[in-house]
Amino acid sequence: MEKEHGKGHGNATLLTDLILKGLTYEPQWQIPLFLVSFVIYLLTMVGNLGLIALIWNDPQLHIPMYLFLGSLAFVDAWISSTVSPKMLVNSFAKAKMISLSECMIQFFSFAISITVECFVLATMAYDRYVAICKPLLYPVIMSNTLCIRLLVLSLPHAIIHSSFLFRLTFCNSITVHHFYCDIIPLLKISCTNPSINYLIVFIFAGSIQMFTILIVLVFYTLVLFTILKKKSLQGIKKAFSTCAARLLSVSLYYGVLVFTYVRPVSTQSEDQDIMDSLFYTIIIPLLNPIIYSLRNKKVIDSLRKILKRNS
């Protein structure tokens, strides 16, 4: 749909429907990409929702550490479900259209989920620090209501970005060069001056990313130093194994996020943006259940109990 707009843009035609470019325009790649994307989405949902069900059904896992793990699984499923279904539908759609309102809703959902994940990852690092470095204070400091507070903290960030998006008009181009409605590709096709929006992205997204990644690095470093002081070979091996896996996941996640939202706009290539976004919307949600649960003894024991009971 289109409508006429006479203020600031003359008789420019404003667009209320957009086209999502997707991963590729090449027809020969549509079926292979659809199949790969569908399998990844299916595995992501099974892994994350299965982990949530496992934690929910085992009373021994109803402690903050595993509730944070369940929250991470929920957010990963949320991110994947915000992005993947529309991407899969558009794989075979001829028009690949998305209404402006649907686009805004998708971005709002994405902004909340990606912000919650940043806070959850930081909180999980703090949780391990308190559990290992201050075990006697753990029941006092960590609480099951912390995840709800993280969601409340994330809402203003998503609302701010979404509110500033509504000031934009789209008349220069109908094509969003991305596979979902992200803020940078939308700003690039706006016919309203997006300078304020870029500044908001740099200040708010940059601050949250830098703050949470600093928390993650500081607390995991303190955990490693605490375990190294104990001089237990088995403990050192376990600590390095656990922390290395978590830091790898966090580094991939934050590294790509910072590269996407904090670097200068002039250096951003559209194809590179798409490849970067694949990491934190598709790949990381798939890998997190493996990294955080398959190396956890209590989660594995709980899974074995359920499998034995069912067999």
pLDDT tens-digit map of 245-256: 777 778 778 887
pLDDT tens-digit map of 128-144: 888 888 888 888 777 76
* Amino acid code (one letter) for 147: C
Question: Measuring CA to CA, how many Å separate 115 from each of 93, 158, 163, 182, 287?
Answer: 30, 8, 16, 14, 18
Angle at 186 between CA 180 and CA 187, to 5 degrees: 150
Q: Can you tell me the distance from the alpha carbon of 13 to that of 33, in angstroms, rounded to the nearest whole number?
A: 34
Element spanning 35, H or E: helix 30-57
* Domains: count for the chain: 1
Structure tokens at 154: 């994330």
Q: Can you tell me the distance from the alpha carbon of 207 to that of 214, in angstroms, rounded to the nearest whole number?
A: 11
Once rounded to an integer, what is the mean pLDDT over residues 234-239?
Answer: 68
Whether 253 and 113 have beta carbons less than 8 Å apart is answered as no
pLDDT tens-digit map of 171-200: 767 788 888 999 888 888 888 888 898 899
Give the predicted TM-score (pTM) of the model.
0.86
75-79, 140-144, 153-157: least confident range: 140-144
CATH number of the domain at 22, please.
1.20.1070.10
Q: Can you tell me the distance from the alpha carbon of 212 to that of 215, in angstroms, rounded to the nearest whole number?
A: 5
pLDDT tens-digit map of 256-274: 787 777 766 655 567 777 8
- What pLDDT is attached to residue 235? 65
Q: Can you tell me the distance from the alpha carbon of 2 to that of 265, in angstroms, rounded to the nearest whole number?
A: 29
Domain of 33?
Answer: 2-310
Percent of the chain having pLDDT more than 70?
A: 86
* Distance of alpha carbon 41 from the chain centroid: 14
What's the mean per-residue pLDDT of the chain?
A: 82
